[in-house]
Chains A and B, each alone.
Chain A
Amino acid sequence: MNQTLKVKAAAVALAVAGALGAAQDAMAQANEIFVPVLVYRTGAYAPNGAPWADGFVDYLKLVNERDGGVNGIKIAYEECETGYATDRGVECYERLKSKKPVAVNPLSTGITFALTEKVAADKIVLMTTGYGRADSVDGSVFAWNFPFLGTYWDAADMLIQHVAKKGSLKGKKIALVYHDSPYGKEPIPALEEHAKKHGFTFLKLPVTHPGVEQKATWLQVRQQRPDYVFLWGWGVMNSTSIKEAIAVSYPRLQIFGGWWSGGEPDVLPAEAAAKGYNSITLGHSSEKDRPVHKDLMKVLYDKGKGTSAKKEEVGSVMYNRGLISAMLLVESIKSAQGKYGKRVVTGEEVRWGAENLSLDAGKLKAIGFDGIVQPLKTSCTDHAGVHRGRVHTWDGLQWSYTSDTYEADYKLLRPLVQASAKKYADEKKITPRDCSKEK
């Protein structure tokens, strides 16, 4: 009897705590903008996911602490662990939806695919900084998706430009070693188009999730001897690939990573094997000395308020990418406030803000991001804003740029984007917006 009483008391306590928690949430919502932070700090992709999440959260903290929010409106956020699993990601999205979020950035192409339809119905902006659907550049069909800074097709295009400079690609062989998921498959159409144009043979070598078992893939590389290998991995897959390349003595100088295969967690575990490894970047590398980093140190880390446990992580490639992703979100909110007033803006207003985002060199300098973000300007026809990148190389200790800035060739990619977007619109019976009438 005694025991059942205890159980009952515990249940009541739980219920009360739950109710109180809910009441608190409702109070907080009044003058804050809510942003869900879908992250993965556990599992096979945590080495890359955790620094990204730290960067993202740190920037939101910085804006709240340093500027008192966006034009005086604080940003409320809540993390939710997805583990890079699509079903958990969708669950997180549904869980945090009740708090009226304005935008979501799930850091997973699989989750992006699953959410693309939902965000349009829920009026929440889906920001996919450097990932997501390549065809969502076309804002007339994908009104709510924003693949800021470029897509996988851009990355593939820039890599082709880079290797084409080393000599004609005619008759050569290029292999794509990719994570067997929507993320890894995404660059394939662009590379196939290039294979037709340049006349090289294109090999597709998939690696199954999570990518720790790649012996068979690299044996194929040894057998086929491609002239270049493009690596489209994520998490532990990247460092495993670099190690396996050494095991089959494939020259690492001929391996080029996509921009999710070019962070410190990818090269450090491979140790000496990674020296000289190249990857394309998303406009930034591992800069630690921009004004925004100094602010982060001053406002957060010196006071012990930083998210990352290690100070050294600040400024690493994945951390910077999280930082930039959060910055683009904050700037979209600012842009929306510019039109609709300095108040708590809605998802619809932030969508307008993201579509009319203009960050020139001066503006980027003012917010401390000069040199790590290329100036960008979004529009209804171009939701990415900018399609530029450089190649950086790991010298065993740090990354350094080893190429000029490339710009993705939209003469080639635009028809692909439009065809793919049109196919989606037909399937989903979406009437594309007329971009000439959008303001």
Chain B
Amino acid sequence: MIYREAGQYKTTYQADQQLFPILQDKIFVLMLLGFAFFAVPLLASEYLFRAILIPFLILTLAAIGLNILVGFCGQVSLGTGGFMAVGAYAAYNLAIRLPDLNLIVVFILAGLAATVVGVLFGLPSLRIKGFYLAVATLAAQFFLDWAFARIGWFTNYAPSGSVSAPALTIFGYTFESPVQKYLLVLSIVCVFTLVARNLTRGAIGRSWMAMRDMDVAAEVIGIRPLYAKVTAFAVSSFFVGLAGALWAFVYLGAWEPLAFDVNRSFQLLFMVIIGGLGALLGSFLGAAFIVILPLMLNQLPGWLGISMSTALISHIEFMTFGALIVFFLIVEPHGLARLWAIGKEKLRLWPFPH
């Protein structure tokens, strides 16, 4: 009843091709953005910012990057953690070696550094596919882990291998409080979500999807596999590298290579799979599922006033979390984004389903 586009006529191609062709969607997204930018800073507690919202947003950005590669272009990657590490260490080295450089520039350059590395490790994708490519990217993960743990230059010869980021100062303004950091991350995520959305629905995104659906057919209709695959790796790595730099600078503050180990790669891959391959919304939902749910499960007994041993709570957290992953994948193998889409379809018919 409410969610119905009857009467919304599109008279120009431009109107038909806009980001949100349905008015209700547009209003919803604008309201959500308004809520995130204006209401959340007033309502949320410091814990919510520092421990939930900031990591959620940063990992969303990384998941968007991975989704471009896995979901849109169909190239499985297990090296995401390594590419995040490239972003983080590139940003660290730029920031301490060129202290006058604007941090925004540092972040962009960190993303570009990850792009270069990503493209390098993406080149084998022209020859190998599927599981074999996954193994090749896994090699990238281990190589990068090794490089950052062993080559002293990357960590500025820190004796323990743990480095810490300098203060977040952009144009003389220091982002210190959790609210400021949240708004910084939120703005970056919004901008790059928009970029990703437009890339994926444009010509380049269509060539990625053609590559994903059937590479031989795509080649026949004139899509260059080299161009499509390498751009997917490049764009994906840029996003992931930027997320890595933010993860290190905004969320962790001090980190060791272990923060970007192979578990991070798996975590991001699970986000994309559970959230929904080939849907940007899926990256948000998947990140929320993987980041927020375990913390909620861990704190639920406390909220309910049930006293339990810490070990038991953690075990229950692991079991419930695992069970929920299986449950959602059985209910909707195409991920949470697909569930959302089904919900929208149902809402269009409501309250008079056939």
A156 CB, nearest partner CB in chain B, Å? 12
From the candidates A24, A117, A181, A188, name the one contacting B253 in the complex (CB within 8 A): A117
Is A21 among interface residues, defined by CB-CB distance under 8 A?
yes
Residues of B within 8 A of A254 (CB): none
- Give the number of residues in A that approach B within 8 Å (Cβ atoms): 46
Is B303 among interface residues, defined by CB-CB distance under 8 A?
yes
Q: Which of B4-12, B103-111, B232-240, B304-312 contacts A (4 or more CB under 8 A)?
A: B304-312
Is A269 among interface residues, defined by CB-CB distance under 8 A?
no
Is B159 among interface residues, defined by CB-CB distance under 8 A?
yes
From the candidates B256, B299, B305, B310, name the one contacting A41 in the complex (CB within 8 A): B310
A189 to B158, CA, bound (A): 10
* B47 (CB) vs chain A CBs: closest residue: A94
With A42-B315, A427-B166 known to touch, is A18 a contact of B303 (CB < 8 Å)?
yes
Q: Which of A108-116, A139-147, A281-289, A355-363 contacts B (4 or more CB under 8 A)?
A: A108-116
Are B162 and A182 in contact, with the CB atoms below 8 A? yes
Are B311 and A41 in contact, with the CB atoms below 8 A? yes
Are B304 and A110 in contact, with the CB atoms below 8 A? no
With A42-B311, A110-B162, A209-B258 known to touch, is A21 a contact of B253 (CB < 8 Å)?
no
Residues of A within 8 A of B302 (CB): 21
Are B162 and A113 in contact, with the CB atoms below 8 A? yes
Is B255 among interface residues, defined by CB-CB distance under 8 A?
yes
Residues of B within 8 A of A428 (CB): 164, 166
Are B304 and A113 in contact, with the CB atoms below 8 A? no
From the candidates A24, A98, A181, name the one contacting B256 in the complex (CB within 8 A): A181
Q: Which of A78-86, A165-173, A391-399 contacts B (4 or more CB under 8 A)?
A: A78-86
* A80 (CB) vs chain B CBs: closest residue: B310
Are A427 and B96 in contact, with the CB atoms below 8 A? yes
Residues of A within 8 A of B51 (CB): 90-91, 94-95
B305-349 interface bits toward A, Cβ cutoff 8 Å, 1 = contact, 0 = none: 100011101110010000000000000000000000000000000
Is A246 among interface residues, defined by CB-CB distance under 8 A?
no
Q: Which residues of chain B (248-287) have a CB below 8 Å from chain A?
A: 252-256, 258-259, 261
Are B149 and A81 in contact, with the CB atoms below 8 A? no
Is A290 among interface residues, defined by CB-CB distance under 8 A?
no
A265 to B299, CA, bound (A): 29
Are A113 and B309 in contact, with the CB atoms below 8 A? no
A118 to B176, CA, bound (A): 11
Is A255 among interface residues, defined by CB-CB distance under 8 A?
no
B331 CB, nearest partner CB in chain A, Å? 16
A209 to B160, CA, bound (A): 15
Is A185 among interface residues, defined by CB-CB distance under 8 A?
yes
Residues of A within 8 A of B258 (CB): 86, 110, 181, 209
Residues of B within 8 A of A17 (CB): 303-305
From the candidates B47, B50, B167, B256, name the one contacting A110 in the complex (CB within 8 A): B256
Residues of A within 8 A of B299 (CB): 95
A311 CB, nearest partner CB in chain B, Å? 17
Residues of A within 8 A of B219 (CB): none
Residues of A within 8 A of B166 (CB): 427-428
A83 to B299, CA, bound (A): 15
Is B161 among interface residues, defined by CB-CB distance under 8 A?
yes
* A116 (CB) vs chain B CBs: closest residue: B254
A216 CB, nearest partner CB in chain B, Å? 13
Are A14 and B164 in contact, with the CB atoms below 8 A? no
Is B193 among interface residues, defined by CB-CB distance under 8 A?
no
Are B303 and A113 in contact, with the CB atoms below 8 A? no
With A41-B309, A113-B160, A420-B159 known to touch, is A118 a contact of B45 (CB < 8 Å)?
no
Residues of A within 8 A of B161 (CB): 181-182, 185
Are A114 and B314 in contact, with the CB atoms below 8 A? no
Is A314 among interface residues, defined by CB-CB distance under 8 A?
no
Residues of B within 8 A of A80 (CB): 310
Is A50 among interface residues, defined by CB-CB distance under 8 A?
yes
Are B304 and A182 in contact, with the CB atoms below 8 A? no
With A113-B256, A206-B149 known to touch, is A41 a contact of B314 (CB < 8 Å)?
yes
B250 CB, nearest partner CB in chain A, Å? 12
B312 CB, nearest partner CB in chain A, Å? 9
Max chain A Cβ within 10 angstroms of own Cβ: one of B55, B159, B295, B305: B159
A181 to B161, CA, bound (A): 7
Is A97 among interface residues, defined by CB-CB distance under 8 A?
yes
B23-55 interface bits toward A, Cβ cutoff 8 Å, 1 = contact, 0 = none: 000000000000000000000011100110001
Is A180 among interface residues, defined by CB-CB distance under 8 A?
yes
A428 to B259, CA, bound (A): 21
Are B162 and A94 in contact, with the CB atoms below 8 A? no
Residues of A within 8 A of B256 (CB): 86, 110, 113, 181-182
A59-86 interface bits toward B, Cβ cutoff 8 Å, 1 = contact, 0 = none: 0000000000000000000011101001
Is B298 among interface residues, defined by CB-CB distance under 8 A?
yes
Are A98 and B311 in contact, with the CB atoms below 8 A? no
Residues of B within 8 A of A53 (CB): 310
Given contacts A181-B256, A209-B258, 8 further A-B contacts (CB under 8 A): A42-B314, A87-B55, A98-B46, A109-B160, A110-B258, A133-B160, A180-B149, A185-B161
7 contacts between A and B (CB under 8 A): A20-B305, A79-B310, A81-B298, A95-B299, A109-B160, A113-B254, A114-B253
What 9 A-B pairs have minimum CB-CB distances, sorted nearest first?
A: A41-B311, A182-B160, A94-B51, A79-B310, A182-B162, A113-B162, A18-B303, A42-B314, A91-B51
